[in-house]
Amino acid sequence: MIKPLNQKPILLIIEDDRGLQNQLRWHFDQYETIFAENRQDAIAALRLHEAAVIIQDLGLPPDEDGVDEGFKCIQDILRISPSSKVIVMTGKTDHENAIRAVGMGAYDFYHKPVDGNTLDLIVQRAFHIFDLEADNRRLTLTNQAPLEGLITNDPQMLKICRQLEKISPTTVTCTLLGESGTGKEVMARAIHQLSPRKNKRFVAINCAAVPENLIESELFGYEKGAFTGANKMTLGKVETANEGTLFLDEIGDMPLNLQAKLLRFLQERVIERVGGRSEIPVDVRVICATNKDLQKMVNEGSFREDLFYRICEMTVEIPPLRERQGDKALLARHFQLKFAKEHGQNVTGFTQDGIEAIEGYNWPGNIREMENKIKRAVIMADGKYITREDLGLAEAGELSLNLRHVRQEAEKNAILRALSITDNNISAAAKLLGITRPTFYDLIKKYEMPISTHLPHTDED
């Protein structure tokens, strides 16, 4: 959280003893102290003031139903503001509950009666750690743009970034393959920005968005009088991009009759305007993109084979968002910061259930869908934190990060893959997995995998 200059750091103190409140208010005069006497008031104060550090008396009185308010308060604070530092205060003999609170996520604990010097050090260190973590998050967001406009932490995507860095200085024709909304145009622009042509124009045309009878004139331009309404000579996208980069998006939707003309341009680097007779040389870098299976289209006869090989001198397959490790929450926070600033909204982050919904959702529309949902949520959010409901993801699957479950699923998948690769040969599968046959059988038994189905071969070592 960024504070205005000369504003005191906010310290939230949850304590129902009025005498201790006065003592702490006097002692912490270097902070803006906010007091709350119960869990409800504490949560309201946290939402209003976004306190970085909170001192909480663990011995809050129970609610009407007898529920321990102290531990419930810690849970609520960390759900609403996970980065806040909670320091719990307990009695001298209540060491066990203090340890339990730290296990729940509290930053530190302190035993009453209050010793000012010790508590000062704990609070100062908590503010220092909070500021360091905030700086680290800002730096992380800054450094996670390996290419201009591209935000990622996924190893597969970072590998693609290295490929694009190698491709960019060349003149090779590159085709980007991937589902709609995965960021193909962002990557095309990144290639342009890394190339020697970065100071020239980047011109994009969506081949699926232009009517079939107009796409030729859009690409190659036309002479005056070439057709009704052609009152002047007009340059096409190819000539406009001269000495720069031409991005042909959705190349798989280009009509067959125009594919031959595009192929000639790519081979000869000359064009003829519609209605013209002279050849015009053009120096342009071409990048293509599509969400279609071009190889399948070639086999079906709906895409020219010679054009396919010409535009696929280099291909890059972009994974969908659902397959990118760690990118969902990273991109969500990027869009939240971007749209909060653009629209002047006081939205500072996500609730825990909001992040879990983002991680649990499959994102069939990829990054474009996420961008739209985050923008709407930033505008429509009632509080400072975006919830699952604000995102419209109330039905999204629950996030499962249980390490034991993840490990078990990985082991089962590895066993099935090994059996598939070795045609159910037990010895070969065990060797491939780097385990012994007895261990292999133990795993089969552990995961209750039917041997009669999966292990028809009982070969000897």
DSSP 19-51: HHHHHHHHHTTTSEEEEESSHHHHHHHHHHH--
List of residues 6+ apart from 104 with CB closer than 8 A = 71, 74, 75, 78
User: What CA dihedral angle connects 330, 334, 335 and 340, to 10 degrees?
Assistant: 140
**For residues 273 and 233, is the Cβ–Cβ distance under 8 A?**
yes
pLDDT at 406 over 80: no
Fold of 403-454: Arc Repressor Mutant, subunit A (1.10.10)
- Please report, rounded to a whole number, the percentage of residues in the chain having pLDDT higher than 90: 51
Domain with CATH 3.40.50.300 in the chain: 155-317
Residue 417: pLDDT band (50, 70, 90) is: confident
Backbone φ and ψ for 86, nearest 5 degrees, come out as -100, 120
AA identity, residue 433:
L
pLDDT of residue 273: 93
Give the mean pLDDT of 83-97: 86
Domain with CATH 1.10.8.60 in the chain: 322-391
pLDDT of residue 126: 93
- The Cα 403–Cα 407 span in angstroms is 6
pTM of structure: 0.60
Domain with CATH 1.10.10 in the chain: 403-454
Domain with CATH 3.40.50.2300 in the chain: 10-142
> Is 140 or 349 the better-scoring residue by pLDDT?
349
Tell me the CATH number for domain 10-142.
Answer: 3.40.50.2300
Residue range 322-391 in CATH 3.40.50.150: no
- The Cα 349–Cα 369 span in angstroms is 19
- The Cα 285–Cα 171 span in angstroms is 6
As given in the structure block, the two tokens for residue 309 are: 């090989």
pLDDT of residue 79: 84
Residue 447: pLDDT band (50, 70, 90) is: confident
AA identity, residue 268:
E
> What is the pLDDT of the chain when averaged over all its residues?
86
AA identity, residue 328:
K
Tell me the CATH number for domain 155-317.
Answer: 3.40.50.300
